[in-house]
Amino acid sequence: MKNNRREFIKNLGLTGIGLSIGIDGFSKNVALKKLTAATLALEINPFIIIENTGKITLVNSRPDMGQGSTQAVPSLLAEELEVSLDQVSIIQSDGRSKYGSQQSGGSSSVRGLWMPLRQAGAAAKEMLIKAAAEKWGVNAADCYAEAGKIFLKGSQKSVTYGEVADLASTYQVPKNPKLKDPKDFKIIGKYNKRLDVPDRVSGKAIYGIDAEIPGMVYAKVVHSPRIHDSIASIDDATARKVVGVLDVIKIERAMPHTKVDAVAVIAQNQWAALKGAKALTVNWKSESGKYLNQNTSEYFEAAYTAAKKPGIRAEEKGDFDAHFESAGTKLEAIYETPFLAHAAIESENATVHVKDDGSVEVWAPIQGPDGALSQVAQYLGVPEEKVKINVTLLGGSFGRKAYMDFLNEACDISRKIKKPVKVLWTKEDDIAQGPYRPAMLSRMQGVIENGRAKAFHHQAIGESIAGQVFNGLRPNTADDWLSGELSQENHQYNFEVNKVSYSRVKTSIPVVWWRSVYASNFGWGQECFIDEMAHEAKKDPLEFRLGLLKNAPRFTKVLNLLAEKADYKTPLPAGKAKGIAVFRSFDSISAACVFVSKTDNGIKIDKVVSVIDCGMFVNPDNVKAQTEGNIIMGIQAATKGGITFENNQCVQSNYHDYQVLRNSETPKMEIHIVENYERPGGVGEPGLPPIAPALGNAIFNLTGKRERKLPLGV
């Protein structure tokens, strides 16, 4: 045990001394890199706190934005520890490094924590069993753990974990505790109701917007419509007259890669802040030197120009260009996807108190408390020990609340006014300020030979998130993160010749990850083009895919299950059609079959059948819920207008002109999960990428017209 155990328990505000154990040292991956279980190492840390009063607390280290981590993460601990979740309290980690990477993102929670947290649970259980055995003077092998107690085999004897926690805490933590055989799992893989749901239906759940701190004031930040402009002058005379307005100050919006001017209206309540902001006149000085392809028309023009030139090679098997040159039957097409806003219903917000003693406390809906901790410390120039991060629930995020410019704003205001402050963005800020999913092109090329697909090239074209946000892309290099999604290893189609290339198109429109990141862009080009190749080869698209996936048993299984559940082979009556697509992302394979029909007003989506192979999973119902959400968001991405910039500013401003799917637009959805004992994959995102191409393919089958540009007219 580490000797900071007592202090840790004290910090948590817990009573009593007991066993706290956890496992850390996992590589400090952020969403930029793929997590691999192999890089995880053992170290002690407090994920499990067993007090001698009997109270058991488990730490959820991944903020819950609706993806179910409040259940999924502690389940990994509870399974091996032999407790049920209704016996324990669950708290959210605070960003300290002892919890390892705490970023919800990249669909990484379960797949990243699968081994370390199970090991933490198993190690604690072994120590508790050993303690009970010592107490009774028996062999540990004669004891077993169940439901928070240790039992002596063949007797009535039992002790609770709390009763032996003190003794257990004196032992060395076993390095290689025995893990359960997945076949013996009682929690993982089983339907269990999420215990946080009752609070979410009764108004008791606390989101960022609900933070309430004594002495707190409210701020509305006024942003530059053209994002990068500076302030020429502020006329705040009217704003200051608004009842409740306390102050108007110049602040900055510090994004990860750039800082821009902003103005904060500080008020006694939120309404006064909003009203004050409306009454404010800010004269923005155009910083045109900072605009780069800041109109979507310019950006796309640059992208289509880039599509005429070769990109940077990311991978190549065989000589694609030579094959393409000499091929008899070849195809080429460009697919387009727009910029998209995340548009969670809870907009960006953060409450921050920069205190007189130099310490800082934060209450905010953020995806990564560890990232927030270092960001706030760095931004304010205070040591990390002086920063306390309280993560609230997130009212949706989809990638947005991992980009914490709004948190910096609250820090900047609080340090300037020396009071706790809540910053709440409006929906207009959320929609018009970005960051967005980047718009992308996929230039696809293919060669058909003797009715078979022989060569395939995917040229990805657009802004790089790593390049813009993290300034992490050297010139003339491919963005691995992006090209990895397109690699042959990922799609598994066994083309003899396969090439992936990338052309960066820079823009000053802020970009960031959006649910499923680039897979949401490139699934569209890849999977529609596979259908185009199938039609050219005069093959059924399903058969064509299965033929290319002979050496990919998991893909084959997913597609066969989809065909069965969607009754793929049965022809549909006139006026109806279906289309399929499959895409692997975040270590999971998902396929969809979308059913469409012709109506008097156009095309209607009747039904979506989705199959997911995410390896082992925690709660089948949550896998289904996440996939339903992915279908809804996938349909929005495919059919609703994206974000556009004209005159260097965003055209859209709220849900009336940036539309998300409404209830009446929901098709019937059926989700099927492939059950196996494969390593866990992601769940929160992989269901999305196949939706747009399956829909595009269905529309082609319905109308004979190949759509290559999103949004589709549905």
Partner 1 sequence: MPVFNLNINNKVYKITAEADMPLVWAIRDLANLKGTKFGCGMAQCGACTVHLDGQPIRSCQMPLSALSKKAKITTIEGIAEPTLHAVQKAWIEEQVPQCGYCQSGQIMSAVALLKTNKNPNDEEILAAMEGNLCRCGTYQRINQAIKNASKML
Q: Does 225 bind ligand FES (CB under 6 A)?
A: no
110 is in the binding site of which of ligand FES, partner 1, none (Cβ under 5 to 8 A by kind)? none
Does the footprint of ligand FES cover residue 484 (CB under 6 A)? no
The number of residues that bind ligand FES (CB under 6 A) is: 3
- Residues at the interface with partner 1 (CB under 8 A): 64-68, 193-194, 197-207, 209-210, 212, 218, 243-244, 269-272, 274-275, 343-347, 393-398, 424, 426-427, 621-622, 625-626, 628-633, 654-656, 660-664, 666, 668-669
Residue 660 interacting partner from ligand FES, partner 1, none (CB closer than 5 to 8 Å by kind): partner 1
547 sits near ligand FES (criterion: CB under 6 A): no
Please state the closest distance from residue 271 (CB atom) to ligand FES, in A. 13
Q: Does 232 bind ligand FES (CB under 6 A)?
A: no
DSSP string, 574-636: TTEEEEEEEEEETTEEEEEEEEEEEETTEEEEEEEEEEEE-SS-S-HHHHHHHHHHHHHHHHH
Q: Provide the 10 A C-beta neighbour count for residue 481.
A: 20
DSSP state of 441: E
Q: Which does 237 bind (CB under 5 to 8 A by kind): ligand FES, partner 1, none?
A: none
Residue 641 Cβ vs partner 1, minimum distance, rounded to whole Å:
15
State the nearest-atom distance from the C-beta of 66 to ligand FES, in Å.
Answer: 5
Indicate the DSSP class of residue 172: P
Edge-first strand order for the sheet with 602-613 is 576-585, 588-599, 602-613, 668-673
DSSP string, 315-331: EEES-HHHHHHH-SEEE
Question: Of these, 16, 25, 244, 396, which contacts ligand FES (CB under 6 A)?
Answer: 396
661 binds, among partner 1, ligand FES, none (CB under 5 to 8 A by kind): partner 1
Q: Residue 707: which H helix or E strand, with range?
A: none
- Given partner 1, ligand FES, none, residue 175, with its beta carbon under 5 to 8 Å by kind, binds none
Under DSSP, the state recorded for 665 is G
Cα 458–chain centre separation: 25
Task: Measure the CA–CA gap between 115 and 679, rounded to whole angstroms.
Answer: 10
Contact 365, 207 (CB under 8 A): yes
Nearer to partner 1, 210 or 532 (CB): 210
What is the 3 state secondary structure string of 24-71?
CCCCCCCCCCCCCHHHCCCCEEEEEEEECCCCEEEEECCCCCCCCHHH
Residue 69 makes CB contacts below 8 A (sequence gap 6+) with 60, 62, 63, 104, 109
Does 620 interact with ligand FES (rule: CB under 6 A)? no
Closer residue to ligand FES (CB): 322 or 345: 345
Q: Which of the listed partners (ligand FES, partner 1, none) does 212 bind, with a CB threshold of 5 to 8 Å by partner kind? A: partner 1
Residue with Cβ nearer partner 1 (29 or 619): 619
Report, in Å, the least distance between residue 644 CB and ligand FES. 23
Nearer to ligand FES by C-beta: 234 or 661?
A: 661
What DSSP character marks residue 671? E
The DSSP code sequence of 208-275 is GGG---TT-EEEEEEEPTTSS-EEEEEE-HHHHHSTTEEEEEEEEEE-SS-EEEEEEEEESSHHHHHH
Note whether 197 binds ligand FES by CB under 6 A: no
208 near 394, Cβ under 8 Å?
Answer: yes
Q: Residue 345 interacts with ligand FES (CB under 6 A)?
A: yes
- Least distance in angstroms from the C-beta of 608 to partner 1: 10
The residue (of 233 and 269) whose beta carbon lies closer to ligand FES is 269
Among 66, 318, 484, 547, the residue binding ligand FES under the rule CB under 6 A is 66
Give the residues lining the site for ligand FES (CB under 6 A).
66, 345, 396
